[in-house]
C-alpha cells in the first residue's frame, strides 16, 4: 500500500469517468487489511478528544481497540450501543468537522479515518446478519413517532430498546426520510438504508407508511391513544428564487429532482418507467451538498454538461470539500460568481435558456462570508435544458399548523428544548431538521436519542 508516513489509509473508489455514468457507490470501503492498518494509527487515548466531537458520543477508541484485536463483532456491539445507524453515518457524516476534527493524530499528521472504520465495522456486521441487542422488559406504554427520517428512527429504536411499544407514522411510501429520497444512491445505497431500517423494525418498532400527519391523522388524535409523541418531520419544503420563469417545464426544485431519481427510480430507466429527461445541459443553482448531489445525479442521468451556478466564489461554498472534489473529478462545471435572474421558455412553456447576472465579492455579511455584489450590466444568456434549484429548504406546516399549543421558531420550525426535545405541549417532543432547520444526519440522530431519554424519564415519572 503506497502511503505517506503518518497519513491515513486511502479509501478505494470507482474511477471518476466510469462512475459519472453509473449509480453504483463511489467509495468502495476498506478491506479488512486496510481497516487493521488504519486502526493501528489510533492511540486509544485515555481522554479521547474525538468523542467530544461526536453528537451521539460513540466510544471511538473503544470500537477501534476491538478492530485492532480483530474482534469485529465486539466493535459492532460497541458502536451500536450509541449509534443505531452506523453504516449510514460511516458514509454521510461530515466527520472532518466533527470527531475527526478533534483527533489528536490530526495535530501533526492526518486524523484517524474514524468514519471509514465505522463504515467497515457496520458493513461487516450487516454482511454477517446483524446481532440484536438486549431489550428491557415491556413497559406497557405506547409512544408514537411522526416521520421516519434519522431523528424519528433513532428515537424509535432507543425507545423500543427501553421496552416501549413504538409506532412510526410516515407520509411517504417508504421510511428513511432524506436518506431514501434525498441522498443519491451513489453516496448512500438504498439497500444499506433499508437494512438499518429493518434493524429498527426488528427491535419491535412498527412503521406505518402513507400517513400524512396533519391531514389523515392529527397529533391530538395520536395523543388519545399514545402516552407521548415525538415529531421528526424534517425540513423538506424547498425554497425558490422568486424570479421570472421558475414555473417553466424543466425547472425543478432539488427536492423533486432527487426524489424522482431516488424514489421513482429514474436512475434505473428503462426498467422503471419514470425517466427524468434532463437534456444536454443541466444547471444546478446553489453551492451546498444538495447542489453537488443534484449536479452529479444529472451527469448520471445522461446530461452532457452539468453546471453548478453559485453566486459567491469556491471559498464560500458551503458544500463539504470532499463532495466538491468528487463533483469536479466527475466533470461538473463550476460557474462561480453567477446567479440567474430569469429563466426563458418557448411558446409551450418549455425552458430553453437562463439569464445570468455576474457578481463580485464585497464585505463579509452576517454569515461571515463575503457578500456577492452584482456587477451592473454584466449579464449573459446561456442555453439550458434543465434547471435544478438547490438554495435551501425549510419545514412544511402540515403538523405545526394543525397542532394547537406548539410554539414555533421564526423560520416556522418547532421550538424545542435542545437537551430534551420537550416542546411547549406536555408529552409532545420534537427533534431533527424540524427544530434546527436543514442540518445533518448525526445531529438529527442526536436529537432523536436525547428525546428518547427524556420521554423515558417523563413516562417513568407519570
Ligand atoms: P428527514 O430526513 O427530512 O425525515 C423526515 C421524515 O418525516 C420524512 O420521511 C418525511 O417524509 C416525513 N414527514 C414529513 N412530514 C410528515 C407528516 N406530515 N406526516 C408524516 N411524516 C412526515 N446530512 C449529512 O449529515 N450528510 C450528508 O451527506 C447529507 N446530504 C444531504 C443531501 C440531501 C440531498 C439533503 C436534502 C440533505 C442532506 N443532508 C445530509 C441533511 C440530512 O439528510 C438531514 O439533516 C436529515 O435527514 C434530517 O433528519 P430528520 O429526521 O430531521 O428529517
Ligand atoms: Fe484515536 Fe484520535 Fe480518538 Fe485518540 S483522538 S482515540 S487517536 S481517534
| Ramachandran quadrant class, 70 (left: phi over 0; alpha: psi -120 to 50; beta: rest) | left
pTM score of the predicted model: 0.92
Cis peptide before 270 (omega within 30 of 0): yes
CB 277 within 8 A of CB 257: no
What is the model's pLDDT at position 2? 43
Q: Which H or E element spans position 180?
A: helix 178-181
Q: How many CB atoms lie within 10 A of CB 60?
A: 29
pLDDT at 275 over 70: no
Pocket perturbation via mutation, ligand 2, pick of 45, 63, 110, 115 by most ligand atoms within 8 A of CB: 45
d(CA 144, CA 169): 7
d(CA 314, CA 337): 9
Average pLDDT, the chain: 93
CB 405 within 8 A of CB 229: no
List pLDDT tens digits, range 439-456. Answer: 999 999 999 999 999 999
Atom nearest to 51 CA in ligand 2 = 3
List pLDDT tens digits, range 182-216. Answer: 999 999 999 999 998 998 999 999 999 999 999 99
Name the one residue in this structure whose C-alpha cell is 424519528.
152
What is the model's pLDDT at position 327? 97
Pocket perturbation via mutation, ligand 2, pick of 95, 104, 113 by most ligand atoms within 8 A of CB: 104
What is the model's pLDDT at position 269? 55
Q: Which residues line ligand 1 (CB under 6 A)?
A: 92-94, 146-152, 169-172, 177-178, 182-183, 212-214, 232-234, 236, 258, 289-290, 293, 396, 398-399, 432-434, 438-442, 444
User: Per the structure block, which three cell numbers stand in for 30?
Assistant: 476498506
Q: How many CB atoms lie within 10 A of CB 381?
A: 11
User: Per the structure block, which three cell numbers stand in for 185?
Assistant: 444512491
pLDDT at 264 over 80: no
pLDDT at 257 over 80: yes
What is the model's pLDDT at position 267? 60
What is the model's pLDDT at position 1? 43
Q: What percent of the chain has pLDDT over 70?
A: 96
d(CA 194, CA 214): 26
pLDDT at 286 over 90: yes
List pLDDT tens digits, range 128-156. Answer: 887 777 777 889 999 999 999 999 999 99
Measured by CA distance, the residue closest to atom 1 of ligand 2 is: 42
What is the model's pLDDT at position 271? 57
Q: How far is CA 344 from the centre of its chain?
A: 33
356, burial (CB in 10 Å: exposed 0-12, middle 13-18, buried 19+): buried
Amino acid at each position: 500500500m503506497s502511503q505517506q508516513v503518518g497519513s491515513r489509509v486511502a479509501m478505494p473508489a470507482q474511477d471518476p469517468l466510469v462512475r459519472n455514468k453509473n449509480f453504483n457507490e463511489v467509495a468502495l470501503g476498506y478491506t479488512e487489511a486496510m481497516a487493521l492498518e488504519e486502526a493501528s494509527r489510533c492511540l486509544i487515548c485515555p481522554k479521547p478528544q474525538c468523542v467530544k466531537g461526536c453528537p451521539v458520543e460513540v466510544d471511538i477508541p473503544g470500537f477501534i481497540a476491538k478492530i485492532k484485536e480483530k474482534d469485529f463483532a465486539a466493535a459492532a456491539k460497541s458502536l451500536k450501543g450509541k449509534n443505531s445507524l452506523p453504516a449510514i453515518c460511516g458514509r454521510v457524516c461530515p466527520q472532518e468537522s466533527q470527531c475527526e476534527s478533534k483527533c489528536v493524530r490530526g495535530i501533526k499528521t492526518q486524523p484517524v479515518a474514524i468514519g471509514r472504520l465505522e463504515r467497515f465495522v457496520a458493513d461487516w456486521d450487516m454482511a454477517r446478519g446483524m446481532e440484536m441487542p438486549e431489550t428491557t422488559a415491556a413497559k406497557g406504554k405506547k409512544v408514537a413517532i411522526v416521520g421516519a427520517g434519522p431523528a424519528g428512527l433513532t428515537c424509535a429504536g432507543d425507545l423500543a430498546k427501553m421496552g416501549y411499544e413504538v409506532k412510526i407514522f410516515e407520509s411517504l411510501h417508504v421510511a428513511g426520510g432524506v436518506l431514501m429520497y434525498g441522498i443519491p444512491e451513489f453516496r448512500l445505497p438504498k439497500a444499506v438504508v433499508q437494512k438499518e431500517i429493518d434493524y429498527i423494525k426488528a427491535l419491535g418498532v412498527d412503521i406505518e407508511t402513507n400517513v400524512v400527519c396533519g391531514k389523515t391523522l392529527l397529533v391530538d388524535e395520536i395523543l388519545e391513544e399514545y402516552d407521548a409523541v415525538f415529531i421528526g418531520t424534517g425540513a423538506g419544503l424547498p425554497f425558490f428564487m422568486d424570479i421570472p420563469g421558475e414555473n417553466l417545464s424543466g425547472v425543478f426544485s432539488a427536492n423533486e429532482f432527487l426524489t424522482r431519481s431516488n424514489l421513482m427510480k429514474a436512475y434505473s430507466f428503462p426498467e422503471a418507467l419514470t425517466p427524468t429527461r434532463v437534456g444536454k445541459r443541466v444547471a444546478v443553482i446553489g453551492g451546498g451538498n444538495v447542489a453537488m448531489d443534484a449536479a452529479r445525479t444529472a451527469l448520471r442521468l445522461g446530461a452532457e454538461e452539468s453546471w453548478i451556478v453559485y453566486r459567491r466564489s469556491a471559498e464560500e461554498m458551503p458544500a463539504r470539500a470532499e463532495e466538491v472534489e468528487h463533483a469536479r473529478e466527475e466533470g461538473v462545471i463550476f460557474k462561480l460568481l453567477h446567479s440567474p435572474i430569469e429563466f426563458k421558455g418557448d411558446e409551450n412553456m418549455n425552458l430553453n435558456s437562463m439569464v445570468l447576472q455576474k457578481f463580485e465579492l464585497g464585505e463579509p455579511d452576517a454569515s461571515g462570508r463575503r457578500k456577492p455584489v452584482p456587477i451592473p450590466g454584466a449579464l449573459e444568456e446561456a442555453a439550458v435544458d434543465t434547471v435544478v434549484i438547490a438554495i435551501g429548504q425549510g419545514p412544511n406546516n402540515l403538523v405545526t399548523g394543525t397542532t394547537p399549543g406548539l410554539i414555533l421558531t421564526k423560520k416556522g420550525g418547532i421550538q424545542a428544548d435542545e437537551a430534551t426535545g420537550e416542546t411547549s405541549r406536555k408529552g409532545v417532543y420534537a427533534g431533527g431538521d424540524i427544530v434546527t432547520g436543514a442540518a445533518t444526519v448525526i445531529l438529527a440522530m442526536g436529537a432523536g436519542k436525547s428525546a428518547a431519554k427524556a420521554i423515558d424519564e417523563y413516562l417513568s415519572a407519570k
